Structure 1
């Protein structure tokens, strides 16, 4: 998920009352909820799509879930001591307890891969012990309704706290509503995917879409070997949208495994990709894409150019 969502989760946990456990609890919760994304630093030294093979990996795995909170708690504990020595420590700050700081940072850090699991991008929850990708297919990577619910709950909690009211209640209500919303979306995705997997005879992915949590883009591979999508599907009682051809993946005729051994871009893409497809674009060249990310605005981040001789046969996607 996006970092605003992660931050709001940390803030709500704190406003639920945990920020009173120790000094610097809120920084531990909010920073901890975001800290696994330190792997974004790889964007400064990798080329092209190689970041896809690095992101959401070892910093989201079990070792990091212990080590990162430990480092964060140690850094905040040192910062409190440093301020005290300089005489700049705020008088109203609670005493800082290292064990409590670590426990809060650990809780917040655990929330990060849990949220990342909810979308179709995936997360490697067992890295470095296993490179398997896990997918929740529950929420779009940016969910404005989560922003609204959690943002309003955080604002109301802070407002009540300032006025001396029951400030914990709005935070807990926001967390409960958030969990119910996530549960409802998980159920929708599972029902759509299961129904179409049975109907089509192949595994279907129910990918959440922006803004409308009732809809899913259903992605599947047809009997002809082509990838298809039913965009914006809303269930069996709604009018079905005709199947739209979105690309080709004719693996027997493409030497992608061979190319991946000499091209780190292709290797990284295939390692990350869940629904890879080879597409012939307007100028006749071939590109490697993923059916989850076909938005033209995502071309630079989720596309790899292939040599003209990469495939001996690729159907024209515009052909009937």
Structure 2
């Protein structure tokens, strides 16, 4: 999730655990700091754009390493504030803050390596977009009220924000499963029962869902809103680059993207350069993670370059708003 959401979640969790045992501003402050610490790995340059992508949400998001870090951080906080009698409470609070960060990240589609160093498998559920106001705002409101109110009402409001956001996550997962069932039925009717399927929310909401199906040679994209007048999904087909994949899928950069995306990728060629694209984030024809691998004959000695494809917001945002509310219109191109 975005940094603001992780800060808000960290503060809310810390305030909920510490309560009135310490000043609420301390709980909120250290919760915010601990809540954003795992994402500092984004500042590390691993040498090329694909490594930077696939090494994000790795060690700093691992249950193992975060559990080791929690008592050290708690000791420092307790020592700083002269609250060593609250060391165990700070330990619990900050451990929960650190652990809930990667758990929330796992609800997005990016991929979080929870089990490092024992496994680098990128876990993803993909039921919530990286920015979703309905998840974040209740957390912020709860923390702000906890800090402003002088009685226990603030603590209750903070707990209410946490409960609301958690229920919203549960709702997002249920909506995703509903859409997955419809998409799978639609694929079966088209003779594509064996296609790999990915269902993720469109930006900023959980009403409109993007459905992506991948076969060895093609990928199919569609959208479904929970407010659509029918359960019909309209699919558009696109070339996955099967011939290129047969030639280059063993190349290191391509293999990394293949593993990290769980196979939801494509290869293409433009002006003699080879491109590998993560199909999970974005929508046709604009994708967030599109990498230029250079001339195929120079592989693997070229350094991948990130070539993000940004949508035209003048058309994308109005389409998103109308499509979200159940108006069946073609995707902007």
User: Counterparts of 1:294-305 in structure 2 under 5 Å?
Assistant: 294=282, 299=288, 301-305=289-293
2 CA distance for matches of 1:192 and 1:297? Answer: 23
* Structure 2: unaligned runs, 5 residues or longer: 188-192, 299-333
Conservation of the 8 A alpha-carbon contact between 2:18 and 2:27: yes
1:142 aligns with 2:131: yes
2 CA distance for matches of 1:231 and 1:306? Answer: 33
2 CA distance for matches of 1:253 and 1:182? Answer: 36
Q: How many residues align?
A: 288
User: Counterparts of 1:12-23 in structure 2 under 5 Å?
Assistant: 12-16=12-16, 18-22=18-22
TM superposition score normalised by structure 1: 0.78
The answer for the alignment partner of 1:130 in structure 2 is 119
Conservation of the 8 A alpha-carbon contact between 2:50 and 2:291: yes
1:166 aligns with 2:183: no
1 CA distance for matches of 2:245 and 2:10? Answer: 49
Conservation of the 8 A alpha-carbon contact between 1:246 and 1:291: no
Distance 1:128 1:194, change over 3 A: farther
The one of 206, 209, 218 equivalent to 1:213 is 206
The answer for the alignment partner of 2:42 in structure 1 is 40
When structure 1 is superposed on structure 2, of 151-160 and 121-130 the one drifting more is: 151-160
2 CA distance for matches of 1:304 and 1:205? Answer: 24
CA RMSD of aligned residues (A): 2.8
Distance 1:267 1:225, change over 3 A: closer
The one of 180, 183, 198 equivalent to 2:167 is 180
Cα shift at 1:59: 1.8
1 CA distance for matches of 2:233 and 2:142? Answer: 37
Distance 1:46 1:210, change over 3 A: same
Cα shift at 1:240: 4.3
1 CA distance for matches of 2:84 and 2:22? Answer: 6
Q: Deviations over 1:270-299 (max 9, x none)?
A: 342231111344x46431101112467755
Conservation of the 8 A alpha-carbon contact between 2:18 and 2:89: no
1 CA distance for matches of 2:111 and 2:250? Answer: 25
TM superposition score normalised by structure 2: 0.76
Conservation of the 8 A alpha-carbon contact between 2:66 and 2:98: yes
1 CA distance for matches of 2:239 and 2:225? Answer: 19
User: Counterparts of 1:68-83 in structure 2 under 5 Å?
Assistant: 68-80=69-81
2 CA distance for matches of 1:173 and 1:267? Answer: 44
1 CA distance for matches of 2:227 and 2:273? Answer: 37
The answer for the alignment partner of 1:255 in structure 2 is 247
2 CA distance for matches of 1:253 and 1:269? Answer: 12
* Structure 1: unaligned runs, 5 residues or longer: 82-93, 311-320
Higher relative contact order (CA 8 A, sep 6+): 1
The answer for the alignment partner of 2:302 in structure 1 is none
1:230 aligns with 2:232: no
1 CA distance for matches of 2:287 and 2:279? Answer: 12
Cα shift at 1:111: 0.5
The answer for the alignment partner of 1:157 in structure 2 is 146
When structure 1 is superposed on structure 2, of 13-22 and 105-114 the one drifting more is: 13-22
The answer for the alignment partner of 2:308 in structure 1 is none
The answer for the alignment partner of 2:260 in structure 1 is 272
